[in-house]
Structure 1
Amino acid sequence: RNGIYIIDLQKTVILLREVYAAVKQMARDGKVILFVGTKKQAQDAVKEEAERAGTFFVNQRWLGGTLTNFATIQKRIARLRELEGMRQQGTFDLLPKKEVARLTDELEKLEKFLGGIKDMHRLPDAIFIVDPKKERIAVAEAKKLHIPIIAVIDTNCDPDEIDYAVPGNDDAIRSVRLMVSTIASAIIDGKTETESAYDAADYDQQYADLGAEPETAGV
């Protein structure tokens, strides 16, 4: 009304629960989920929450081909690692100041744009995006490769492009952080259940090796 769009928060809660369950299952199955949010309101939350969940992120400019030209991106990451190694080994200390300045600048730029995915050795199984309208290149690449898209969508976004959509205000920092934190928590919960299942399997195997059933051992 009067150019103002209202998001139904009850529907947001319902859809967020559904997406939480879907993401939790993905994490339980060992799927890799890439976080993407390059707008100012999302940058900090995307980095911090992705790191908390032990997953990968892009919070600066999306480089075209990050998904569709993954091999080339991996070459740039290899260069990043090479420069990191040179600095750690003291090679920079042996070079002229101008060369060190040039290499340091190159290293900082690569770290800025690729640091969040430098340990991502394969394409992600899903991509979580804050503001798919802004990240339209990332959306197009994911769709081309049939990678499921999870996204926070504002009233100016097309939900038909998104596989798992949660309506929300992607311009408010608090709203963005809440959404991103929820997805991160879903990943953590899914991973925790996987670890618990492995622990239980190990526990059962230990008793099986002893020729006893877990339920009756010690009785």
Structure 2
Amino acid sequence: MTRRYWNINLKEMIEAGVHFGHGIKKWNPKMAPYISAKRKGTHITNLARTAPSQGKSFLIVGTKKRAADLVASAAIRSRCHYVNKKWFSDAAILKRKLSTLQRYLGGIKYMTRLPDIVIVLDQQKEYIALRECAILGIPTISLVDTNCDPDLANISIPANDDTMTSIRLILNKLVFAISEGRSLYIRNR
């Protein structure tokens, strides 16, 4: 078996702008350990601290208009379920509404059970999804900017959640890891 590394290197992260946070006035004090500096009214994330297969199913949630296409293509590449238009409250529970909500929830039309892990791209915008996952006991991976609470997700990835290059980089790395895990699961089955 060849070993592949999907680690994100520091240069890639800086080029993608992952280290840019929100303005100094909009920060969450729980993000203090992940912030290294303040420049021109913006927090800078400490990237050195952020570089942190068992057939599980994943759900990727990202409803920002600019990131919707990235979410759909990443989910399709990694064969994951996705929500990229609008998160409806209780959407993970009430599957019978899918026929009328096909436009918004097309990415979960083949989901037959609750996902094992949910990936959230914008913690502030997807708060309802995070809350539902906490209630249902579904582990979450979340991109957290300097204005977010890292305690809301099981695994927090401190990164800029506003620029598409940052989101694309993180999504590509997650998709690669999911695909590798899936192929390993299929080979060992």
Instruction: Quickly name the TM-score band, shorter chain normalised.
Output: 0.7 to 0.9
In the aligned structure 2, how far is the partner of 1:29 from the partner of 1:184? Answer: 16
After superposition, give the CA deviation of every residue in 1:13-60 in whole Å (9 maximum; x if it has no partner): x22xxxxxxxxxxxx211111000001232111110000001100001
Match of 1:209 in 2: none
Q: Which runs of 5+ in 1 are unaligned?
A: 16-27, 81-109, 199-219
* Shift, 1:11, TM fit: 2.1
Q: Check conservation: 1:41, 1:171, Cα contact below 8 A.
A: no
Residue 195 (structure 1) shift: 1.7
What one-letter code is carried by the residue in structure 2 that aligns with 1:65?
Answer: D
More strand as a share of residues: 2
CA contact (8 A) 1:41 1:172 kept: no
Larger Rg: 1
Of the candidates 164, 167, 170, which is equivalent to residue 155 of structure 2? 164
TM-score, length of structure 1 as denominator length:
0.66
Match of 2:96 in 1: 75
1:6 aligns with 2:39: no
Question: What SS class does the counterpart of residue 137 from structure 1 fall into?
Answer: helix
Q: Which residue of 2 aligns with 1:57?
A: 82
Q: Which residue does 2:113 correspond to in 1?
A: 122
TM-score (norm 2): 0.76
How far apart in 2 are the matches of 1:64 and 1:3?
35
Q: How does 1:70-149 map to 2 (within 5 A)?
A: 70=93, 72=94, 74-77=95-98, 79=99, 110-149=101-140
Q: Percent identity?
A: 38
User: 1:3, CA displacement in angstroms?
Assistant: 3.2
User: C-alpha offsets along residues 134-164 of structure 1, whole Å, 9 cap, x if unaligned?
Assistant: 1000011000111111011111110011111
Aligned to 1:206: none
Q: Which blocks of at least 5 consecutive residues in structure 2 are unaligned?
A: 1-37
Q: What is the Cα-based RMSD across aligned positions, in Å? A: 1.3
Q: Give the CA deviation at 1:185.
A: 1.0
- Matched residue, 2:176: 185
